């Protein structure tokens, strides 16, 4: 059965109860084997991002890799989609450098926003997050 898993081993104790709750419809990811959980717990930075990209099946964004130690990250117009946003969110849980993140025009949709919200529950360093939803096709 699916379980909501902590993104890294650095999850504060006050947040552990959240991760032990019954599975919900909005989860960051569900690894297929225990080995994946252990290996992610020891990764950080670029290594974590590359593994997260493999896990969710997206190509890494080289700009993110090159600038993940800068406080301002502008990923506008990078075509991330919800899975790319998920890989970014997984990585940012333990990032203490990025304080401003821009994700406009990336079609991250509700799934990507959910992952970013879960990341923000753990990351208290991000002060500003900018994103937008694509226009509705019904208009």
Q: Is the pLDDT of residue 34 over 70?
A: no
Q: Is the pLDDT of residue 22 over 50?
A: no
CA–CA dist 112, 71 (Å, integer): 21
Q: Which position has the higher pLDDT, 17 or 137?
A: 137
Q: pTM of the prediction?
A: 0.69
Q: Is the pLDDT of residue 48 over 60?
A: yes
Give the model confidence (pLDDT) of 50-76 as tens digits: 999 999 999 999 999 999 999 999 999
CA–CA dist 6, 14 (Å, integer): 12
**CB distance 44 to 72 below 8 Å:** no
Share of the chain above pLDDT 90, in %: 61
**CB distance 83 to 58 below 8 Å:** yes
Give the pLDDT of residue 43.
78
Tell me the average pLDDT across 73-97. Answer: 95
Give the pLDDT of residue 92.
95
């Amino acid at each position: 059965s699916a379980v909501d898993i902590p993104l890294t081993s650095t999850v504060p104790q006050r947040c552990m109860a959240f991760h032990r709750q019954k599975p919900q419809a909005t989860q960051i990811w569900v690894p297929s084997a225990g080995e994946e959980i252990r290996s992610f717990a020891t990764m950080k930075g670029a290594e974590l991002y590359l593994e997260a990209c493999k896990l969710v099946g997206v190509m890494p964004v080289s700009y993110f890799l090159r600038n993940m130690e800068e406080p301002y990250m502008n990923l506008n117009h990078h075509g991330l989609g919800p899975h790319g946003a998920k890989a970014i969110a997984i990585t940012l849980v333990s990032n203490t450098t990025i304080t401003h993140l821009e994700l406009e025009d990336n079609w991250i949709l509700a799934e990507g926003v959910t992952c970013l919200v879960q990341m923000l529950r753990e990351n208290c360093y991000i002060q500003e997050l900018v994103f937008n939803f694509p226009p509705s096709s019904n208009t």
